[in-house]
Amino acid sequence: MWGAQRRVTLDVLLICWGIGTWLGVNGLYVQLPLLVERLPEGWALPSSLVLAVQLANIGPILYGLLGRLRPHASDSPYIYGLLIVGTLSLIINAFVYDMTTVIGGADRSLPFLALVFGAALVGCTSSVLFYPYLRHFRDIYLATYLVGEGLSGFLPSILSLIQGVGGEPECLPSEDSTQLVPHYPPPLFSTTVFLVILGAMSAMSLISFFIINNYRVFDSEKVTQTVETKDENIVEERESLVAPKWVGVLVFMVLLNAVNNGLMPSIQSYSCMPYGTRAYHLAVTLGAMANPVACLAGVWLRPVGARVLAGMLLAALVPFVYMTVTALMSPAPPLQYDVIGEVLIVFSWVVVSGVVSYARMWVYGWVRRGGARGMRVCGAVTQLGSASGSAIMYFVVNFTKLFVQPDVCAPLST
């Protein structure tokens, strides 16, 4: 792949463009260890965030409707519009993320969640909009775009590790000395600075796409219209998608995405925060880094056999159960005040995140045998799993008492 003749400048631009895909979602996700301590939703904030992200799947639906109304329209204006929305959402959120709105008699982070929705539109729509645009270029450039997409999760994680969380809160008397209130040590730089940096990266993605789309110097790297038409018109005999093995794989994909995009992010604060802000911070950032690493492994390495994958998932079931149990036992999980407890919970989250991410990539590779129809069905069940998992966990976290957040500071004794 890398030995083929190619334009390195185009590779760099495609990587920069790919960085803008899931940058907003991944960046806001790794800020959760700071935000759950400062926004009114507290430890329930992640469940609201994942629901806002899933609502952004209205993007592909709207794009599909526009495609029917304007079947011959260029994809470029839609891509420009998405990247502009994503960039503005990040920059505006940098200055309004801590503003609240009273809903149902309680403070809610409506501006923050609305702008999360705007940033998530880019990632949710990129799979149906950015990938088709790449068909204009030679196949070798798909890999470099995927590198950029992987970096959209890796770079915010590195930035978050540099930022840190400042440390554990200190309980000090209020001004009237009637209660103890938490004071949080500041991180190396604030959430505002973090989001402005992400906004700059998103703007870089927009500029990169503008250059790719408008500079004629890259025309030599594009495929001819004849080749495109031939590729699109190839018809092969495909397996039936209602065959038992297809049904099994698609059900498996629903469960994977319900767990990965619904259950895990919704309970992570309850699982990790009892061990300290540092544990939650490391579990989030290192787990987010494990995701793109696993995805890139799925792109460049020969896929493992089905039995090996089953063995990996069975092995990951042990830390997954441990993570779930610690969340249910919150705010007093096992080994809460031991270093081994902190190490164990971080290790569990990183391992499970990596294995589940690789399993999802494995399924994406397997369903390619079904052609475009198989990929579309896989995309549909992916969104079904993500949306259903997010909706269920939002209800469970916010309307049941299975997961408990303690008061940061104990009340003053009278």
Question: What is the C-alpha to C-alpha distance for residues 175 and 173, in angstroms, rounded to an integer?
Answer: 7
Question: What is the C-alpha to C-alpha distance for residues 203 and 17, in angstroms, rounded to an integer?
Answer: 9
Question: What is the C-alpha to C-alpha distance for residues 51 and 36, in angstroms, rounded to an integer?
Answer: 16
Q: Which class would CATH give 1-222?
A: mainly alpha
* pLDDT of the residue at 238: 56
Which of 24-38, 125-139, 161-175, 365-379: highest mean pLDDT?
24-38
What pTM did the predictor assign? 0.83
Residues making up the chain, counted from first to last: 414
More confident residue, 279 or 365: 279
Of 134-138, 159-163, 166-170, which range is least confident? 166-170
180, β-bridge pairs: 173
* pLDDT of the residue at 134: 82
Task: Count other Cβ atoms within 10 Å, centred on residue 125.
Answer: 25
Of 47-51, 239-243, 331-335, which range is least confident? 239-243
User: If DSSP codes are grouped into helix, strand and coil, which group holds residue 401?
Assistant: coil
Residue 412 pLDDT exceeds 70: no
The answer, yes or no, to whether the previous bond of 334 is cis (omega within 30 of 0) is no
Model confidence pLDDT, tens digit, residues 295-328: 667 666 777 888 999 999 999 999 999 999 999 9
Of 206-210, 362-366, 373-377, 383-387, which range is least confident? 373-377
* pLDDT of the residue at 338: 92
Residue 321 in tokens: 């159960």
103, β-bridge pairs: 106
Q: Answer whether 212's CB lies under 8 Å from 10's CB.
A: yes
* pLDDT of the residue at 235: 40
**HSE-CB of 76 using CA atoms within 13 angstroms:** 10
Q: Answer whether 391's CB lies under 8 Å from 256's CB.
A: no
Model confidence pLDDT, tens digit, residues 71-99: 888 889 999 999 999 999 999 999 999 99
Q: Answer whether 23's CB lies under 8 Å from 205's CB.
A: yes
Question: What is the C-alpha to C-alpha distance for residues 405 and 270, in angstroms, rounded to an integer?
Answer: 7
- pLDDT band at 2, cuts 50/70/90? very low
Q: Answer whether 291's CB lies under 8 Å from 157's CB.
A: no
Question: What is the C-alpha to C-alpha distance for residues 226 and 233, in angstroms, rounded to an integer?
Answer: 11
Integer CA distances (angstroms), 19 to 161, 197, 346, in order: 18, 13, 26
CA 92 to chain centre: 20
**pLDDT (average), residues 266-294:** 89
Range(s) of the chain covered by CATH 1.20.1250.20: 1-222
Question: What is the C-alpha to C-alpha distance for residues 185 and 167, in angstroms, rounded to an integer?
Answer: 6
Q: Where would I find the H helices in 178-272?
A: 191-214, 225-233, 244-258, 264-272
Task: Count other Cβ atoms within 10 Å, centred on residue 140.
Answer: 15
Residue 397 pLDDT exceeds 80: yes
Rg of the chain (C-alpha set): 22
